[in-house]
């Protein structure tokens, strides 16, 4: 079924909202009333129709607006896209994967026609119809990773595997929760995870790295991450901290419902066929508190998660200024009833 793409903004007047249908497909990440870091990886397999897992690369009603926001970010700051020279094979791997998944999942919006290395790509929502030679950079308007990630929702990192480690050697990162590709490029798995509290001591990163080094082609894996954002802003980068950091001090009892957003990342990891690199997809979903409380079991669970969150995570996720106000507002929706495990 064709998606009705919304005209909306993730900045200035912040007109982004979820339709009732999109709220129902929101990937609520909590399967219990408290939260702590874990090696929470599961096979990235297709889920039920009408969910965010119906397809392995998800497109929703925010696609066109999100792509417009990405273009604005890149215009102001081209370093949000970077790829080191040895990543060209991985770039083509990624282009192939994203075109295939989008064309298979959403045939009414995307078509990929291949004749040997002559490919035709049609992206109807963005009005693109291009023919190019797979593997020949000169036949595209820009590098293959930039080309395809200007047409795919979420952020993308490609990590190279060598010396028993993973290296962040390419990416398109414009919708990130306060980290910078320009800062992290060329770092390894332990280095870029350096700022994360508690997880190193718990052995989470040792186990996660070991798992990823053995990731097999055709068996992608996924995990959830989450944080909170004030206003529906996609670009919460360190580069633009001066624009969004002060928003955290603007939350009041009167505006929690509109301003405070749960920000969920469905992260999927894919072994790439030619380069043996791993594609890390960070697909971001935003939902304000007014929308969240329309689902009673979420309204009950989320304040409990916030209330019991370890102090180190409150600080790292940047929730300190508005967490209590949000709990107070949400608590009227928590009837104290027990919740069931699972989402």
Q: Which of 32, 68, 223, 307 is catalytic?
A: 223
Stretch that binds ligand HEM, among 74-82, 89-97, 194-202, 323-331 (CB under 6 A): 194-202
Binding mask 60-99 for ligand HEM (x = CB under 6 A): ----------------------------------------
Give the C-alpha separation, 304 to 337, whole Å.
Answer: 11
Specify whether the CB–CB gap between 157 and 166 falls below 8 A: no
195 binds ligand HEM (CB under 6 A): yes
How far, in Å, CA of 128 to CA of 124, rounded? 6
Would you count residue 225 as binding ligand HEM (CB under 6 A)?
A: yes
Of 20-28, 131-139, 190-198, 321-329, which part binds ligand HEM (CB under 6 A)?
A: 190-198
Whether the Cβ atoms of residue 156 and residue 63 lie closer than 8 Å to each other = no
* Shortest Å, Cβ 196 to ligand HEM: 4
- What gap in Å lies between CA 263 and CA 286, rounded to an integer? 5
- Binding of residue 16 to ligand HEM (CB under 6 A): no
CA distance 170 to 166: 12
Member of 56, 87, 98, 199 binding ligand HEM (CB under 6 A)? 199
DSSP 183-251: HHTT-BHHHHTTT--STTTTTHHHHHHHHHHTPPTT--EEEEEEEEEESS-S-B-GGGHHHHGGGGGG-
Active site residue 223: yes
Q: CB 177: neighbour CB atoms within 10 A?
A: 19
Does 317 participate in binding ligand HEM (rule CB under 6 A)? Answer: yes
Total number of residues that touch ligand HEM (CB under 6 A): 24
Contact residues toward ligand HEM (CB under 6 A) are 37, 39, 157, 159, 166, 168, 179, 184, 192-193, 195-196, 199, 204, 208, 212, 223, 225, 227, 269, 278, 280, 316-317
Catalytic residues: 223
């Amino acid at each position: 079924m064709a998606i009705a793409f919304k005209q909306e903004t993730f900045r200035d007047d912040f007109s982004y909202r979820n339709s009732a249908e999109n709220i129902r497909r929101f990937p609520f990440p909590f399967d219990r009333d408290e939260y702590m870091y874990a090696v929470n990886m599961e096979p990235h397999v297709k889920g039920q129709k009408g969910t965010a897992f119906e397809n392995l690369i998800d497109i929703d009603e925010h696609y066109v607006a999100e792509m417009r926001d990405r273009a604005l970010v890149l215009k102001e700051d081209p370093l949000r896209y970077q790829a080191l020279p040895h990543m060209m094979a991985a770039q083509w791997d990624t282009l192939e994967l994203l075109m295939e998944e989008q064309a298979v999942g959403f045939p009414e919006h995307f078509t990929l026609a291949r004749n040997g290395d002559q490919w035709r790509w049609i992206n109807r929502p963005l009005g693109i119809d291009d023919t190019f030679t797979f593997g020949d950079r000169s036949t595209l308007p820009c590098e293959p990773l930039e080309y395809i990630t200007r047409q795919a929702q979420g952020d993308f990192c490609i990590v190279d595997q060598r010396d028993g480690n993973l290296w962040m050697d390419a990416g398109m990162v414009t919708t990130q929760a306060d980290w910078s590709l320009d800062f992290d490029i060329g770092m390894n798995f332990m280095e870029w995870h350096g700022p994360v509290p508690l997880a190193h001591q718990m052995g989470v990163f040792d186990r996660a790295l070991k798992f990823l080094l053995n990731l097999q082609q055709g068996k992608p894996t996924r995990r959830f991450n989450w944080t909170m954002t004030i206003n529906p802003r996609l670009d919460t980068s360190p580069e633009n901290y001066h624009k969004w950091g002060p928003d955290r001090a603007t939350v009041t009892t009167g505006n929690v419902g509109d301003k405070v957003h749960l920000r969920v990342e469905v992260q999927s990891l894919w072994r790439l066929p030619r380069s043996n690199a791993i594609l890390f997809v960070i697909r971001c979903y935003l939902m304000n508190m007014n929308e969240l409380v329309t689902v009673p079991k979420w309204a009950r669970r989320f304040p409990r998660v916030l209330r019991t969150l370890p102090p180190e995570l409150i600080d790292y996720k940047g929730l300190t200024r508005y967490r209590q106000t949000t709990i107070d507002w949400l608590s009227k929706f928590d009837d104290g009833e027990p919740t069931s495990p699972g989402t």
